[in-house]
Structures are given as structure tokens and as C-alpha cells.
Amino acid sequence: MKMNGTILPLFITLSLLSFFVFNTSASCDYSTKCTCDGGRPQGQYCGIDFVDPNCKWDFVYECNPQGKSCSYGFRQSCWDCGCLKCPC
């Protein structure tokens, strides 16, 4: 099937847009077994910050003050330096 000059660029643009929208938005997995140390402010932390052995040290977790968490998964900076951004 041959596409004319106006449809092809539109097709490529929409394909790239859908790739970036659907593949770069991180979702938080609430089925994680990691529990954050209660009392911390709401926020994101590398797993190395917690004593729970269920927390993977190179994963990012969103924690609430009650100790509940969800996982965003692996983050290179947690692996490299143990912080959300390197240098710490």
C-alpha cells in the first residue's frame, strides 16, 4: 500500500507520539511487598533507604507517612549512587 505525501508524515508523527506517551509514563505498582519505614514524609525513595528486606535497593518506591508503598521499579541512579539523582 502506497501512502501519499501528507499521510506518511502524519502517520509517523502519531506513531512516535503514541510511543512516547505510552512507554514513558511510569505507573506505580501497588502489589509490592516493600513497606516503607513509617513516619517519613510522602515522597519517592530508593529501596536502599529502608530496612525491609522486601525492598529492592535499586528500585524507587513512593511512600506515605503510614508506611504504605508502591513501586516504580528499577532506577539507574539508585543502582549507581543510592539516591534519586546522582550525585546525592
Between 26 and 59, where is the model more confident? 59
Question: For 40-81, what is each residue's pLDDT tens digit?
Answer: 899 999 999 999 999 999 999 999 988 899 999 999 999 999
The pTM for the full model equals 0.68
**Chain-centre distance for alpha carbon 8:** 33
DSSP one-letter code for 47: G
pLDDT band (50, 70, 90) for residue 2: low
> φ, ψ for residue 5 (rounded to 5)?
-65, -25
Cα–Cα dist 53/58, whole Å: 12
Question: For 3-20, what is each residue's pLDDT tens digit?
Answer: 556 665 655 555 544 444
